[in-house]
Amino acid sequence: MSVTPENNEKVYVCRCEEVTLEEIDEWIDRGYDTVEELKRVLRVGMGPCQGRGCQDILMREIAKKTGKPISEVAPATVRPPVKPIKIGLLAEGGEE
């Protein structure tokens, strides 16, 4: 399944950071063809969901635009915390 815009509407791939499919395609055409590179220039996958909502779409778009099999498109490096957590939970654990 591919993501395509209809009726000239913007297609948001990363809703957290408001990154559109058009922006992603532009940067892939400029040579930024890895998830990590796109993450750095567009902040795609760096919002509260940490890429859980957009990484698969991003990887499929990279594969489609570059002609690589999806298995050759590396996902973003996961850095802790993997899930957003409230700072109060961290602070509670330090008291004894």
Domain boundaries, the chain: 12-92
Whole-model pTM over 0.85: no
pLDDT given at position 50: 86
Mean pLDDT over the full length of the chain:
86
Q: Is the pLDDT of residue 32 over 70?
A: yes
> Do the beta carbons of residue 16 and residue 47 sit within 8 Å?
yes
Residue 2: pLDDT over 50? no
Q: What pLDDT is stored for residue 6 in this prediction?
A: 63
What b/e readout covers 26-48, taking b as 16+ CB neighbours within 10 angstroms? ebbeeebbbbeebbeebebbbbe
pLDDT digits (tens, 9 = 90+) for 34-68: 999 999 999 999 988 888 889 999 999 999 999 99
Quick one: which of 66, 43, 44 has its CA closest to 57? 44
- Identify the CATH number of the domain defined by range 12-92: 1.10.10.1100
